[in-house]
């Protein structure tokens, strides 16, 4: 075939497109299981990191043996027994109408639209079997995105161990400062509930005033990112509230966990 002919150009371009599309689609299909496995490992790594359980030189799989995954009925706070906690995917359940509860605007403080009927919780126990850490998945809307993360509490269900987000699209340097280790370092020791039982964690605009009694519930608001800060406050209060993990934490505190 004449290499300068129109037909040659069309045939060559078509063959090239075909070969490239086969390579790309084969790679996408072949890599999917690997991507899924990486996503699961990343989630486990985040759960371990929020309570500082990932030691250097240890694999995520090894370290995660210390963690007990359970599934909780979000309204009753009771453990769901007929669900495989290791494979349960709360994020995808939240977008399935059969597996989720739609939230009214008035009750949807975290601006998530709907929540999964069943929620994952991750537990770490002391040697005597008592609860050391309770790690709760939390999510809610910031300014540009839904932030997904984990809030870790001590076994009392009230003292914060840490807060860490693993997925969001807030602006780096503004809302993205939720990932700043210095900001995250303010969370340990904060108190989730006030004496009257209100979920009280909060980002304080302008910074925490250590002389105020509310300081024990607060960390500094993110500078130049009031909307993300309000979003984080709202999502924490939602997930610690009556529509979130409060029924579960109350059962834990009553020794029924």
Which residues 173-192 are close enough to bind ligand FMN by CB under 6 A?
174-175
Pairing status of strand 100-102 against strand 114-116: antiparallel
**Per-residue mark of binding to ligand FMN, 89-128 (x: CB under 6 A):** ----------------------------------------
Residue whose CB is less far from ligand FMN, 53 or 178 = 178
Rounded to a whole number of angstroms, the minimum distance from the CB of residue 179 to ligand FMN is: 12
Sole binder of ligand FMN in the list 225, 243, 249, 252 (CB under 6 A) = 225
Q: Does 143 bind ligand FMN (CB under 6 A)?
A: yes
Sole binder of ligand FMN in the list 227, 241, 247, 250 (CB under 6 A) = 227
Sole binder of ligand FMN in the list 90, 141, 170, 240 (CB under 6 A) = 170
In 93-216, beta strands by DSSP E: 100-102, 114-116, 118-125, 131-141, 146-154, 160-167, 202-204
Closest residue to ligand FMN, judged by C-beta, is: 175
Q: Does 137 bind ligand FMN (CB under 6 A)?
A: no
Concatenate the DSSP letters of all residues of 65-115 into one string.
GGEEEEEEETTT-PBPSSS-TTT--HHHHHT-GGGEEE--TTT-TT--SEE
Rounded to a whole number of angstroms, the minimum distance from the CB of residue 145 to ligand FMN is: 8
Contact between 160 and 201 (Cβ < 8 Å): yes
Which residues 144-163 are close enough to bind ligand FMN by CB under 6 A?
144
Q: Catalog residues that contact ligand FMN under the rule CB under 6 A.
A: 143-144, 170-171, 174-175, 224-228
């Amino acid at each position: 075939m004449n290499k300068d002919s129109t037909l040659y150009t069309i045939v060559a371009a078509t063959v090239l497109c075909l070969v490239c599309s086969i390579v790309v689609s084969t790679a996408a299909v072949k890599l999917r299981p690997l991507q899924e496995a990486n996503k699961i490992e990343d989630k486990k790594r985040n759960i371990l990191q929020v309570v500082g359980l990932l030691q250097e030189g240890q694999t995520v799989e090894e370290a995660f043996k210390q963690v007990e995954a359970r599934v909780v009925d979000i309204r009753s706070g009771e453990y769901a027994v007929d669900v495989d906690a290791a494979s349960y995917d709360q994020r995808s359940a939240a977008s399935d109408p059969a597996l989720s509860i739609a939230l009214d605007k008035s009750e949807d403080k975290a601006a998530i639209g709907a929540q999964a009927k069943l929620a994952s919780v991750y537990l770490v126990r002391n040697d005597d079997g008592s609860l050391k850490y309770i790690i709760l998945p939390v999510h809610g809307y910031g300014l540009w995105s839904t932030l997904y993360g984990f809030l870790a509490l001590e076994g009392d269900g009230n003292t914060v161990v840490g807060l860490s987000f693993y997925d969001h699209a807030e602006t780096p340097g503004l809302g993205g400062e939720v990932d700043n280790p210095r900001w995250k370092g303010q969370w340990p020791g904060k108190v989730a509930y006030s004496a009257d039982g209100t979920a009280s964690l909060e980002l304080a605009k302008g910074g925490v005033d250590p002389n105020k009694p509310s300081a024990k519930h607060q960390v500094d608001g993110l500078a130049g990112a009031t909307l993300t800060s309000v979003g984080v406050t709202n999502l924490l209060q939602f997930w610690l509230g009556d529509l979130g993990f409060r029924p579960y934490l109350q059962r834990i505190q009553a020794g029924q966990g």
